[in-house]
Amino acid sequence: MTLHFYDSATAKVRPFVPLEEGRVSLYYCGATVQGEPHIGHVRSALAFDQLTRWLQYRGLEVTSVRNVTDIDDKILVKALENGEQWWALAYRFEQAFEDAYDALGILKPTYEPRATGHIPEMHALIAQLIERGHAYPAPDGSGDVYFDVRSWAKYGSLTRQNIDDMQAAPDADPRGKKDPRDFALWKGYKEGEPLTASWASPWGDGRPGWHLECSAMVTKYLGTEFDIHGGGLDLRFPHHENEMAQSQAAGHGFANFWMHNGMVTYEGEKMSKSIGNTINPREMLELARPLVVRYYLGQAHYRSVLDYRPTSLQEAAAAVERIETFFHAAVARLFPGGDFGVVATVPETFAAAMDDDLNIPAALAVLHETVRAGNTSLAQNDDGEALLALQGVLGMMSVLGMDLLDPHWQDNAGSGRENAALDVLVKAQLDARAKARADKDWAASDAIRDTLAAAGIEIADSASGSTWSLRR
């Protein structure tokens, strides 16, 4: 196998060889926890979950780090508006992010450091940059410290920009800056800001600049040189450009590969609260099962734009249903006694697609082709071929983080056996209710419905009979 990934820094697909044999170090930028997660955050985390799973499938041990930016201008402003502590607001939204990731079965990173827990590491990096002549304390006494972009000839190389064409860094009062593009490593304390959001430093009380956080944390957990730095495409500039500049200016090799995931649009347009064309993970999970949402968010190539349309989740649900229908039919045929034992495998064509810059659309085409072939085998009573297809479908779904045997994806969040037992009991109640209705015994029929409703079970009546589901 030869893994190939697109490296955003060189704009080329090139062979991926880990710095250390058998191990991969991966850092990807997490959220600034100032509000509910939006769909772009979740797509990004899912893209790096898929990458991690594939690297692990290829036998590599992955150490992954996703940071939590828990101090930031927006967090301070919103906390002030809400009349709550900034750290309480940050923690509340950090939990909202965790909930969204957990619902979609997104792997936890090896480490998930918070910016506020790494102030000494940030001070050390700032001191190093000042000593090497790449940073300076603002002469205006504000307590700010800036990175000197003109001192670093490679500034702009990640995004292939000429320094003179770049926008100014709007992160601090420009009066203390040598160049408006210089960005803040340290932000001096300002009157009116909460004292709890300020730390003592050799340059005065204050708090860290956003870009610096990632550089300091990456070095602590992965070292001065590591394999892959990831994040959403919107972070390339200025965030990643600045991370790379300050780390390399400090003498670090930094990232060997840069991988950026594409954005999510709404019917071709950028999602925007003012236009009203937004959908967040919580709303998606109200519209569809977690497995369907995961399938939808993970089906495009990670570098492509993922476009959401109101029919998107129905299409994803239909695709998932085709896979599950084959799975259940194959298990019922091949393991009628219920003793289920299958060695999951991954077809070569699927593996080749994944090795090629994680080409998930091509990999999913192999998955659906295997489902079609499996259905044909079942129809032709070819149990041997049907078993091969079942093994492949289970293997591919598992490596994509959608293991069909994982209780996490069960509709009613219980195990298969619990669901089966519940189904028998509820169906007995539905039969009794159907008989009461046939006898026009409305009191008895309503009593059964009320009992089921009190247990959180909803009944849907149709011409072909009644079905039940757990109320969400």
Q: Which residues bind Zn ion (CB under 5 A)?
A: 29, 214
From the CB of 29, what's the least distance to Zn ion, in Å?
Answer: 3
- H or E stretch at 269: strand 269-270
DSSP bridge pairs for 25 = 63
Residue whose CB is less far from Zn ion, 29 or 100? 29
From the CB of 205, what's the least distance to Zn ion, in Å?
24
Q: Which is nearer to Zn ion, 29 or 292 (CB)?
A: 29
Question: Taking CB positions, which residue lies at the least distance from Zn ion?
Answer: 214
380 phi, psi to nearest 5 deg:
-95, 10
Kindly report each contact of residues 202-209 with a partner whose C-beta sits within 8 Å and lies 24 or more positions away, as own/partner: 202/123, 202/127, 203/126, 203/137, 203/143, 203/144, 203/145, 204/143, 205/143, 206/143, 206/144, 207/71, 208/71, 208/115, 208/119, 208/122, 209/171, 209/183, 209/184, 209/185
Those residues whose C-beta lies under 8 Å from the C-beta of residue 169, and which sit 6 or more positions away, are: 177, 180, 181, 182, 183, 184, 238
Minimum distance, C-beta of residue 426 to Zn ion, in the bound complex (Å): 49
Q: Which is nearer to Zn ion, 113 or 290 (CB)?
A: 113
CA–CA distance, 269 with 308 (Å, rounded to integer):
9
b/e per residue 291-307 (b: at least 16 CB within 10 A): bbbbbbbbbbbbbeebe
- Write down the least CB distance from residue 243 to Zn ion, Å: 6
Q: DSSP letter string over 121-186?
A: HHHHHHHHHHHTTSEEE-TTSS--EEE-GGG-TTTTTTTT--GGGSPP-TTS-GGG-SSTT-EEEE
Residue among 216 and 354 whose Cβ is closer to Zn ion: 216
Terminal-residue alpha carbon distance, the chain:
44
Report angle CA 126, 128, 134 to the nearest 5 degrees: 80
The least distance separating Zn ion from the CB of residue 434, rounded to whole angstroms, comes to: 59
Helix axes 290-297, 312-334, angle to 10 degrees: 120
| Minimum gap (Å) between residue 301 Cβ and Zn ion | 23
Distance, in Å, from the CA atom of 86 to the CA atom of 190, rounded to the nearest integer, reads 16
CB closer to Zn ion, 169 vs 214? 214
Sign of the CA dihedral 66, 68, 72, 74?
positive
Comparing CB distances to Zn ion, the nearer of 42 and 68 is 68
Residue 184 has φ and ψ, to the nearest 5°, of: -80, 125
Instruction: Name the residue nearer to Zn ion (CB basis): 29 or 448.
Output: 29
Min CB(414)–Zn ion separation in Å:
39
Amino acid at 341: G
Q: In angstroms, what is the minimal distance from the CB of 463 to Zn ion?
A: 56
Please identify, using beta-carbon distances, which residue of 231 and 395 lies nearer to Zn ion: 231
Least CB distance to Zn ion at residue 31 (A): 10
Type and span of the H or E element at 226:
strand 225-232
Q: How far is the CB of 239 from Zn ion (least distance, A)?
A: 6
Q: Give the number of C-alpha atoms closer than 13 A to the C-alpha of residue 145, restricted to the C-beta side.
A: 29
Tokens for 151, please give them: 């001192």
Helix (H) or strand (E) holding 462: strand 457-462
As measured in angstroms, the least distance from the Cβ of 214 to Zn ion is 3
- The first and second tokens of residue 94, run together, are 């950090």
**Based on CB atoms, which residue is closest to Zn ion, 214 or 400?**
214
Q: Which lies closer to Zn ion via its Cβ, residue 69 or residue 377? A: 69
Cβ-based nearer residue to Zn ion, 211 or 433: 211
